[in-house]
Amino acid sequence: MPIIQSAKKALRQNVRHRKLNLKRKAELKETTKAFQKLIQEKKIKEAREVLKKIYKTADKTAKTGYIKKNKAARIKSRASKLLAKISS
């Protein structure tokens, strides 16, 4: 356990950030899996709704620094390409 005051604070922050990061990671993974499932079932209307959620979660995770901007852009791009491919 940390002894110095700043180390104690750093530990508290680390625990808090870890919780948030795990939550963000799970949410992003969950939305992408739901989107993939809808694409496989060829449910275009529902997939469009989930695509909006993917955009939102990818942007939020990039904004907070969990993933980089380009990774968020790549996730969104791949998802929209899949939807375009299946809907045409």
For the chain, counts of helices (H) and of strands (E) = 3, 0
| Domain 5-87 homologous superfamily, CATH | Ribosomal protein S20 (1.20.58.110)
Q: What is the pTM of this model?
A: 0.86
| For residues 4-9, average pLDDT | 97
Average pLDDT, the chain: 96
Question: pLDDT tens digits for 13-52?
Answer: 999 999 999 999 999 999 999 999 999 999 999 999 999 9
Cβ-in-10-Å burial (0-12, 13-18, 19+) of 72 comes to buried
Distance in angstroms (rounded) separating the CA atoms of residues 28 and 25: 5
Confidence (pLDDT) at 64: 92
Label residue 87 by pLDDT band (50, 70, 90): confident
**Range 7-26 burial, b when 16+ CB lie within 10 A, else e:** eeeeeeeeeeeeeeeeebee
